[in-house]
Structure 1
Amino acid sequence: MNLLNAKEFEGQIYSGGWTESRGGHVPITEPATGAELGRTGTANAEDVAAAAEAAAAAQRDWATASFEDRAGVLRRAGALVEQHADELRDWVIRETGAVAGLAGFAGGVAAQECYEAAALASRPLGEILPTNQPRLSLLRRMPVGVVGVISPFNVPLILSIRSVAPALALGNAVVLKPDLRTPVSGGFAIAAVLAEAGLPDGLLHVLPGGADAGTALVTDRHVRVISFTGSTATGRAVAELAGRHLKRVHLELGGNSAIVVLDDADIDAAVSAGAWGSFLHQGQICMTAGRHLVHEAVAADYTEALAAHADALPVGNPATDPVALGPLIDEGQRDKVHALVTSTVDAGARLAAGGRYEGLCYRPTVLSGVTPDMPAYAQEVFGPVAPVVPFATEDEAVALAAGSEYGLSLSILTGNAMRGLALAERIPTGIVHINDQTVNDEAVAPFGGVLESGTGARFGGAANLDAFTDQRWITMRGDIPPYPF
């Protein structure tokens, strides 16, 4: 039996069950074919206000529920994600253009996020603090209340559930606004899983919508924490708006991550890692390797081999063909990618592979002769593009890697892991992988970037405790002390 029925959510949002939205509805389009997969309701500010008020009312009882009850819901949700893995994978493929391997990986991570969230429910609630007075002094973690989650289109199942699951496990309610292009894998599937798992009504609301819905979510008086994943430009606007309303905001933003290939690296292995880091999911991942910094002694061989890899990768419809890359999400994204590639070539770079497209399917692209001021190097492309820049010394490699406004993920490939670790210490970034590529994700690990990639580790493991609880200081005395007045 399927978890989801497209007719059930046709033109709907999820708020107290499936319900008509006040903002109308739009088609859900398959990027590989242009076919309509269904229709989603479009939430407006009134929908957000009603959902946030209902969430706040439901959260009061949920916060006092047994940790066993909350953990049980999340454990059952994880099992349901695994049970319906094929169905969820198919939605991810058709809605986002992901290849089957990535879509399956997303389901596996989503299940693990639920299991790890279940474990959060039984974490210690706080600690005993030292005090210089005759009293018991405690720090206690309290649910924040209602958490607003805004998730993007690229890997929506993971990027929604990694906030939704821990927030719920820690006693909060959630209002989730997935991208309008991916409302099913970004939200409706999660709502269906949690409803089947026994989550009480009113604790999760899924409201696909546009900028007006996002603004309403950030400013609503019932919503105390915002968890946002998306572009740096939009994240900055969210942070400014949240700051005016004195709300905590967690930002996981863009990236232009570097792969540094040292002269002692295994070049064949490095090329394979570099291709995966740049071309997986058409480069539409925040951790995508956007810059390949390669020692000058091996740069020519690396570039030639990377271009050969790119030329050999099949591109097409991942729902019907065994391809390595699927389509970009829409024409706007494709045209942005192509403009960055062509302007970089016009600036003097050489097109070693790719640089062309058919429909929304963009060929994996390798650029050589690149300088740091060229557009495809300096900007986050969010497409399958690998600019290669040589360096002569480790100091030059550090300067290049650190010379970006972003700081999300870093890869260093070397025959000496300790050399790689020492180099990484000199480069600001939220994530480092020695002898692996830049795209990695585990529910148990803290995740987040620095600089314009975000506000640090806000997801994964113990980081979720800080993200979705408040700290309360409590003292207790046996008797009321005397005071001088």
Structure 2
Amino acid sequence: MSSQEAWSGKIFVGNWTEGSGGRAPVIEPATGAEIGVTGIATVGDVNDAAERAASAQRIWSSMSFDKRAAVLYEAASLLKARTELVNFWNIRECGSISAKAQWELDAAYDQILAAAALPMQATGMLFPSAMPGRTNTWRRIPIGVVGVIAPWNFPLLLAIRSIAPALALGNSVILKPAPQSTVTGGALLASLFADAGLPEGVLQVLPGDVSVGDAVVRHPAINMISFTGSTDVGRQIGEICGRLLKKCSLELGGNNPMIVLADSDIDGAVSCAAWGAFLHQGQICMQTGRHIVHRSVAHEYATKLAERARRLVVGNPGTSDVHIGPLIDARQAERVHRIVIESIDAGAELVVGGSRRGNFFEPTVLMNVTPQMSAFQKEIFGPVAPITVFDSVDEAIEIVHASEYGLAASVHSRSIPAAMTIADRLRSGMIHINDQTVNNEFHVPFGGMGASGNGGRFGGPANVEEFTQTQWISAIDKPVQYPF
């Protein structure tokens, strides 16, 4: 399936139109072939969109909660009906294997349904007053216009994660998708919500370069930024939003540790490790990026993880049933290769893998990685499992905290109390015992600490906190008589 419909070469501003920045090709990472074309927005398009969104938001937020919910329920239904189309583009444009594409679609569907239930929730509280006859109402109201800047690795889910609750709670949205996923994470979503009955101007999609994202962040009519991406870019966005006194929610990078204690079920731990390290070619912020293993079981762990890595099939997910597809582009493939080579040169042992073929990179296991090596220090975003050995729990925790990131972690032990004791000492937004680090449940608040985010959370009740602001209204029958 390759139909491109109305969006080919266009941007979405409530209708499909030519972007001021011209057109850009959609490149398949597995082959380098051009498989489509999208429109490109400019700063001028952002200015127009922001004014349009502000006007549309006032009408949208005044609609009854059941009508807003109905649009979201219809969007969820249409997403399921378009499974074949959406998965086609996720595989071809983003290099996803079919199982990952289907999981992402199912998770996005769950996110939309969860968001659809938000408008019917209580919107505030009543507080007592020391003033006779006064009522104090504290309520949540929409923020206004939300700018969503989404990444390319899970473009459907990580855009929907912000778009759906923002819309449900009465905001309008301007979506700036990543250049590598403008169809899956942009055009398909615009069509989805338009066909679901979302009023014109409430969701707009503006593909473009860094200048477009910067304009979205800086525009005074855009009241909040929801950004998912690298820590370096997140810091820049946070600095700009801070100066503008603009709310921002930053879900950033991770270098996520998996601690394997001496008493662990090694076969179970290795199964978790392979999934956490190699899923979607390791291009996940929650990737199991540091394998911190007790010395007494490190050799067994490395051997069994290498065996699993050797069994994984690398290839084009658009034409074959494979486990590992391409990295998103040549720049990323070169970066992963450079990190592996630098670490080997610094003394790491290559157990398996390490080879690059175009945008494809073999599942790789490195042993004897130290905190001074690139494979330990950097968020690799590739199918690489670096193993660091420890001798004591205190040393393991020190190794974990040698990184500034604090997104996800896992601890493996046959003793839940022992694992919980370690979890209590870890600085991480999410900790999973006897599991891997790539976990997501739409109803559980999700987010990181330290360099992995600014404390914002997505999911469940946290969505209400993120995508609304609070207001106090007091009322009394007769004006108060003050001393002067």
Residue of structure 2 equivalent to 1:335? 334
Residue of structure 2 equivalent to 1:299? 298
Match of 1:398, SS state, is helix
Residue of structure 2 equivalent to 1:171? 170
The equivalences for 1:246-265 within 5 A come to 246-265=245-264
Residue of structure 2 equivalent to 1:349? 348
CA distance in 2, matches of 1:132, 1:336: 63
Residue of structure 2 equivalent to 1:430? 429
CA distance in 2, matches of 1:129, 1:150: 37
Does the 8 A contact of 1:446 with 1:462 survive in 2? yes
Does the 8 A contact of 1:316 with 1:325 survive in 2? yes
Q: How far off is 1:83 after superposition?
A: 1.6
Q: How far off is 1:292 after superposition?
A: 0.1
Residues 48-103 of structure 1: per-residue CA shift (max 9 Å, x gap): 11111101011101111000001111111111111212221111111110111110
CA distance in 2, matches of 1:87, 1:263: 47
The one-letter code sitting in structure 2 at the alignment partner of 1:6 is Q
CA distance in 2, matches of 1:81, 1:164: 14
Match of 1:264, SS state, is coil
Q: How far off is 1:366 after superposition?
A: 0.5
Match of 2:472, SS state, is strand
The one-letter code sitting in structure 1 at the alignment partner of 2:112 is C
Does the 8 A contact of 1:430 with 1:457 survive in 2? no
The equivalences for 1:252-331 within 5 A come to 252-331=251-330
CA distance in 2, matches of 1:289, 1:271: 11
Q: How far off is 1:406 after superposition?
A: 0.1
Q: How far off is 1:209 after superposition?
A: 0.9
RMSD of aligned alpha carbons = 1.1
CA distance in 2, matches of 1:468, 1:275: 35
CA distance in 2, matches of 1:468, 1:360: 38
2:66 to 46, 58, 68: 68
Residues 167-193 of structure 1: per-residue CA shift (max 9 Å, x gap): 000000000000111011111111111
CA distance in 1, matches of 2:68, 2:91: 31
Residue of structure 2 equivalent to 1:200? 199
Residue of structure 2 equivalent to 1:181? 180
The one-letter code sitting in structure 2 at the alignment partner of 1:39 is V
Residue of structure 1 equivalent to 2:212? 213
- Residue 373 (str. 1) matches residue 362 (str. 2): no
CA distance in 2, matches of 1:399, 1:449: 19
CA distance in 2, matches of 1:60, 1:125: 18
Q: How far off is 1:16 after superposition?
A: 2.1
Write out the 4+ residue segments of structure 1 that deviate beyond 2 Å after TM superposition: none
Residue of structure 2 equivalent to 1:461? 460
Residue of structure 2 equivalent to 1:223? 222
Q: How far off is 1:131 after superposition?
A: 2.3
Match of 1:316, SS state, is coil
- Residue 31 (str. 1) matches residue 29 (str. 2): yes
- Residue 476 (str. 1) matches residue 483 (str. 2): no
1:43 to 30, 41, 44: 41
Match of 1:8, SS state, is helix
Does the 8 A contact of 1:446 with 1:457 survive in 2? no
Does the 8 A contact of 1:151 with 1:178 survive in 2? yes
The one-letter code sitting in structure 2 at the alignment partner of 1:219 is R
- Residue 115 (str. 1) matches residue 113 (str. 2): yes
Structure 2 alignment gaps of length 5 or more: none
The one-letter code sitting in structure 2 at the alignment partner of 1:329 is I
Residue of structure 2 equivalent to 1:92? 90
The one-letter code sitting in structure 2 at the alignment partner of 1:116 is A
2:77 to 75, 79, 92: 79
The one-letter code sitting in structure 1 at the alignment partner of 2:329 is D
CA distance in 2, matches of 1:113, 1:49: 29
The one-letter code sitting in structure 1 at the alignment partner of 2:86 is L
Residue of structure 2 equivalent to 1:125? 123
The one-letter code sitting in structure 1 at the alignment partner of 2:56 is A
Does the 8 A contact of 2:250 with 2:456 survive in 1? no
The one-letter code sitting in structure 2 at the alignment partner of 1:401 is V
The one-letter code sitting in structure 2 at the alignment partner of 1:407 is G
Residues 115-144 of structure 1: per-residue CA shift (max 9 Å, x gap): 011011111111112322221111111101
Does the 8 A contact of 2:456 with 2:466 survive in 1? no
Q: How far off is 1:7 after superposition?
A: 4.5
Residue of structure 2 equivalent to 1:14? 12
Does the 8 A contact of 2:261 with 2:413 survive in 1? yes
CA distance in 1, matches of 2:6, 2:199: 20
Q: How far off is 1:465 after superposition?
A: 1.0
Report the count of equivalent residues: 483
TM-score normalised by length of structure 1: 0.98
CA distance in 2, matches of 1:5, 1:338: 35
Does the 8 A contact of 1:218 with 1:226 survive in 2? yes
TM-score normalised by length of structure 2: 0.98
Residues 275-311 of structure 1: per-residue CA shift (max 9 Å, x gap): 1100000000000011000111100100111111111
Q: How far off is 1:479 after superposition?
A: 1.4
Deviates more, 1:251-260 or 1:132-141: 132-141
Residue of structure 2 equivalent to 1:105? 103
CA distance in 2, matches of 1:49, 1:328: 34
CA distance in 2, matches of 1:131, 1:398: 49
Structure 1 alignment gaps of length 5 or more: none
Match of 2:225, SS state, is strand
Deviates more, 1:453-462 or 1:332-341: 453-462
Match of 1:298, SS state, is helix
Residue of structure 2 equivalent to 1:449? 448
Does the 8 A contact of 1:42 with 1:180 survive in 2? no
Match of 2:180, SS state, is coil
Residue of structure 2 equivalent to 1:146? 145
Does the 8 A contact of 1:355 with 1:362 survive in 2? yes
CA distance in 1, matches of 2:253, 2:237: 14
CA distance in 2, matches of 1:276, 1:296: 22
Residue of structure 2 equivalent to 1:398? 397
